[in-house]
């Protein structure tokens, strides 16, 4: 499979572009994720002409607006230059299927960046470049490297990356009412694990060649928004039991009991999601079902990423 284009803060790849001349190379990113993602690095502070090393910046609230200024030289304001750089990169960002930002950065932080007001810091800010980039690309899955250490957040981000990648493939191959309906059907169980899928289904019910572009635009906005919710065990159990229903005529009493037991053990946090999913795949190899076989819920991303092993 072709590697998926992902934007990333340059320092996370080991580039020496930080204010102190160093980097923040992330082993999981350059090791595991680099096998599947084509990382495209951005360092807005270097791009706007700041040196390496350089004076430290921070966010300051002045007269109700947020500015990115030098700590030692408050008159050194790079706010508009950072925003302008994000705008200049719009065409490059539109090619991406995800973006990994450097946490706590006054230019690149996604959330909880310190904002100083009257000399007191509050963790309620977003990096100037990051805020503009996300505003320009509302569909784009965005995460910080620090949050990728959480199994649920990591799986959620990568799942959204693959959904957006498949969406872009759909558009590149030529969108039709049938292809959009098929896309939805293949993602329906993933959607079910996040929210009630019927709203999206109703949106597609009246699709035609005439309203295809409008409906597709509404569909992907709603889909990417609802996928931001991190799925809990109860929601996964609901989907697992729904999938189990496709085997009600094929399984004997012992196999049904074993499957029910594993799903219940998963509900109780005794085993990871990979265990009941593996057993379900085993049964569907013996009793194939085209809908389940084509569903991305069973294989939402490469198995080698081992994401569901920790859910």
State the pairing for strand pair 37-42/57-62.
unpaired
- Are the beta carbons of 85 and 129 closer than 8 angstroms? yes
In a structure prediction context, what are the per-residue pLDDT tens digits for the chain, which is 311 residues long?
A: 689 999 999 999 999 999 999 999 999 999 999 999 999 999 999 999 999 999 999 999 988 899 999 999 999 999 999 999 999 999 999 999 999 999 999 999 999 999 999 889 999 999 999 999 999 999 999 999 999 999 999 999 999 999 999 999 999 999 999 999 999 999 999 999 998 888 899 999 989 999 999 999 999 999 999 999 999 999 999 999 999 999 999 999 999 999 999 999 999 999 999 999 999 999 999 999 999 999 999 999 998 888 888 88
With 0.85 as the threshold, say if the pTM is over it: yes
Residue among 141, 149, 159 nearest 298 (CA) = 159
**Domain spans in the chain, listed from the N-terminal domain onward:** 4-149, 173-311
Contacts of 37 (CB under 8 A, 6+ apart): 3, 4, 5, 6, 98, 161
User: What is the rounded CA–CA span in Å between residue 196 and residue 190?
Assistant: 10
DSSP 143-196: EETTGGGSHHHHHHHHHHHHHHHHHHHHHHT---HHHHHHHHHHHHHHHHHHS-
Residue among 166, 171, 208, 212 nearest 190 (CA) = 166
């Amino acid at each position: 499979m072709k590697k998926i284009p992902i934007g990333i803060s340059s320092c996370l790849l080991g580039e020496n572009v930080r204010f102190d001349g160093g980097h923040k190379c992330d082993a999981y990113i350059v090791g595991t994720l680099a096998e599947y993602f084509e990382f495209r690095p951005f360092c807005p502070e270097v791009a706007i002409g700041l040196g390496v090393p350089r004076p430290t910046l921070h966010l300051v609230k002045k007269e109700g607006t947020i500015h990115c200024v030098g700590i030692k030289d408050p008159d050194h304001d790079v706010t508009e230059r950072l925003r302008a750089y994000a705008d200049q990169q719009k065409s490059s960002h539109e090619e991406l299927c995800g973006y990994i930002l450097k946490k706590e950065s006054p230019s690149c932080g996604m959330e909880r960046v310190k904002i100083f007001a009257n000399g007191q810091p509050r963790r309620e800010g977003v990096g100037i470049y990051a805020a503009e980039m996300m505003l320009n690309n509302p569909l784009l899955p965005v995460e910080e490297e620090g949050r990728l250490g959480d199994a649920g957040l990591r799986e959620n981000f990568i799942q959204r990356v693959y959904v957006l990648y498949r969406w872009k493939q759909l558009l590149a191959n030529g969108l039709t009412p049938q292809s959009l309906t098929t896309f939805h059907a293949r993602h329906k169980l993933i959607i079910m694990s996040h929210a009630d899928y019927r709203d999206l289904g109703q949106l597609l019910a009246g699709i035609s060649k005439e309203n295809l572009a409008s409906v597709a635009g509404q569909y992907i906005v709603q889909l990417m928004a609802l996928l931001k919710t991190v799925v809990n065990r109860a929601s996964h159990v609901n989907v697992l039991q729904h999938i189990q229903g496709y085997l009600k005529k094929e399984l004997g009493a012992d196999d049904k009991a074993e499957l029910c037991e594993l799903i219940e053990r998963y509900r109780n946090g005794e085993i990871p999601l990979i265990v009941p999913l593996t057993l379900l795949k085993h049964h569907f190899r013996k009793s194939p079902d085209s809908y389940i076989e084509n569903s991305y819920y069973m294989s939402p991303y490469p198995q080698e990423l081992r994401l569901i092993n920790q859910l």
